[in-house]
Amino acid sequence: MTGTNGRAVVAKRVDDGHPDTEEIRDLARAAGYTVVGEVTQARTEDPALCLGEGKVAELAALVAETDATTVVFDNRLGPYQTYNLGNELPEGIEVIDRFKLILDIFGQRARTKKAQLQVELAELRYELPRAEAKASLAKRDERPGFMGLGEYDESRERDIKAQISRIDDELDRIERTEAHRREQRRESGFDLVALAGYTNAGKSTLLRRLASDLDIDENEGLHPDLDATAESENRLFTTLGTTTRRAEFDRRDVLVTDTVGFISDLPHWLVESFRSTLSEVYRADLVLLVVDASDPIEEIREKLVTCHDTLYERNEAPIVTVLNKADLVDDGELAEKRDALSALAEDPVVVSAKAGANVDDLRARIDEELPAWRRERLVVPMTEETMSLVSWVHDHAHVESVDYADDVTVEFEARPAIIEKARSKAGELPTPALE
């Protein structure tokens, strides 16, 4: 069956070694292509074509043989490399690189206003150097449309920069609103946990395991940010925006957020375009870095390094590594991987989100790593307003006992901010009139 975007041949060049095309094939399928072939090469980059001339001729023959509509490069292509390749391939064949493919996937998955703005921003940042290249070549050669790059419009570069500035401002406003919402959640007694990691590591499946409300009715008013579903399909970029669910804990109120998955070799401009979504990770109380334990050790190591580079730059919370998909790995291999990765993943939690194995151990670790609660004992006068305070404490803390006598004594555990707020509310209670 042909994908919705047509038939694609993937191409990849590496400086040396064996070109691995598994991820670019997965990305192409995620974008809706049917992958019908591949061409790879290990050599230094050809400035004009990326691949060598002979390999490009082989690519053209494969495209014709397979009736492909698109060639997807797992490399970053410059504007004139794209044009030159198009001239060497059969007429009408589209040539896109890795990052254009990723943007296409993001565009297909964007559902919320924030996600759509972030995709638009990334697309503009992708287009900007191409517009600058058109301007440079046109000025140099005094030929509009030089190298087939399109008619030069000197206002286009300015328009792109103006749009980037406008979207940056709009996303900043959204981020400020969401930061305020995060603080409101904390003030309501919620601990915030974020899931991070590569695509297909099993984050969405783990979220469903941790969640206590699997069938949430948004109209019930449980929480304005609780999403009714968290997909766990085996495909890349299932989660582009954020999905937040209430997690199942005995005494804490915990919200867990699943965010867009990382992929390898993301350029800085693309990561920066999604900083608003990543802020859910940066500003959490705890980050669970989910890793596919069935991957080879070197691949896990590379992914952990990439994740750490992205997270530790801005992250304010502790990070716990979760080795997921343990059901696919035997105990001996797991022990070997834990030992080999100890420098990057100290004391990881091993789970199988799919099978539900060791999820209770993960809950215990989350409870241990989240900000410590404090114990408090409030003694307040018995007034009509006192019951409202007691009800509020029940909603926002873990109440151990309530004693109703001449005064009301409430003993509870909670986040420091909740304790301070409870003290403030207690201080505002009216003093009973003397009889």
**pLDDT number for residue 280:** 75
**pLDDT number for residue 172:** 87
340 is in an annotated binding site: no
Comparing 6-106 with 374-427, is the CATH topology the same?
Answer: no
Q: Is the dihedral of CA 414, 420, 421, 427 positive or negative?
A: positive
Is the pLDDT at 190 greater than 90? The verdict is: no
Top pLDDT among 20 and 109 is at 20
219 is in an annotated binding site: no
Rounded to an integer, what distance in angstroms lies between the CA atom of residue 429 and that of residue 384? 9
Of 190, 187, 251, 255, the closest CA to residue 413 belongs to: 251
Is the pLDDT at 397 greater than 90? The verdict is: no
What confidence category does residue 15 fall into, taking pLDDT thresholds of 50, 70 and 90?
A: very high
**pLDDT number for residue 231:** 43
Amino acid at residue number 227: D
DSSP 187: H
pLDDT tens track for 60-88:
999 999 999 999 999 989 888 988 999 99
64 is in an annotated binding site: no
Q: Is the dihedral of CA 171, 174, 180, 185 positive or negative?
A: negative
Q: How remote is the C-alpha of 87 from its chain's centroid? A: 37
CB atoms within 10 A of CB 244: 24
Contact 227, 243 (CB under 8 A): yes
Is the pLDDT at 237 greater than 60? The verdict is: no
Is the pLDDT at 183 greater than 50? The verdict is: yes
325 is in an annotated binding site: yes
What confidence category does residue 432 fall into, taking pLDDT thresholds of 50, 70 and 90?
A: low
354 is in an annotated binding site: yes
CA distances from 30 to 23, 27, 35, 211 (A): 10, 5, 11, 27
The strand pair at 286-292 and 349-350 is best described as unpaired
What confidence category does residue 221 fall into, taking pLDDT thresholds of 50, 70 and 90?
A: very low
197 is in an annotated binding site: yes
**pLDDT number for residue 153:** 57
87 is in an annotated binding site: no
Q: Locate all alpha helices (DSSP H) within 314-385, ordered by sequence.
A: 331-340, 359-369
Work out the average pLDDT over 167-175.
88
Is the pLDDT at 295 greater than 70? The verdict is: yes
Work out the average pLDDT over 113-140.
78
359 is in an annotated binding site: no
Rounded to an integer, what distance in angstroms lies between the CA atom of residue 307 and that of residue 289? 8
315 is in an annotated binding site: no
pLDDT tens track for 17-53:
899 998 899 889 988 999 999 999 999 999 999 999 9
Q: What percent of the chain has pLDDT over 90?
A: 36
201 is in an annotated binding site: yes
> Domain extents for the chain?
6-106, 110-175, 189-369, 374-427
| Token couple for 339 | 């030992």
**pLDDT number for residue 3:** 61
* Terminal-residue alpha carbon distance, the chain: 86
260 is in an annotated binding site: yes
CATH 3.40.50.10140 fits 6-106, yes or no: no
Amino acid at residue number 16: D
Is the pLDDT at 217 greater than 60? The verdict is: no
What pTM value is reported for the model?
A: 0.67
CB atoms within 10 A of CB 392: 15
**pLDDT number for residue 364:** 92
Of 62, 73, 123, 120, the closest CA to residue 96 belongs to: 73
**pLDDT number for residue 140:** 57
Contact 412, 397 (CB under 8 A): yes
Q: Write phi, then psi, for 380 (nearest 5 degrees).
A: -130, 155
Rounded to an integer, what distance in angstroms lies between the CA atom of residue 326 and that of residue 350? 7
Architecture (CATH level 2) of domain 189-369? 3-Layer(aba) Sandwich (3.40)
200 is in an annotated binding site: yes
Long-range contacts of 169-173 (CB under 8 A, 24+ apart): 170/117, 171/114, 171/117, 171/118, 171/121, 171/275, 171/276
82 is in an annotated binding site: no
CA distances from 370 to 22, 100, 257, 344, 400 (A): 37, 39, 15, 20, 20
Mean pLDDT, rounded, of the chain: 82
**pLDDT number for residue 206:** 92
Alpha carbons within 13 A on the beta-carbon side of 16: 0
Element (H, E) at 408: strand 407-414
Contact 245, 264 (CB under 8 A): no
DSSP string, 301-329: HHHHHHHHHHHTTT--S-EEEEEE-GGGS
Work out the average pLDDT over 407-425.
88
Work out the average pLDDT over 282-293.
89
**pLDDT number for residue 136:** 67
Burial 320-352 (b: 16+ CB within 10 A, else e): bbbbbbbeebeeeebeebbeebeebbeebbbbb
The highest-level CATH class for domain 374-427 is alpha beta
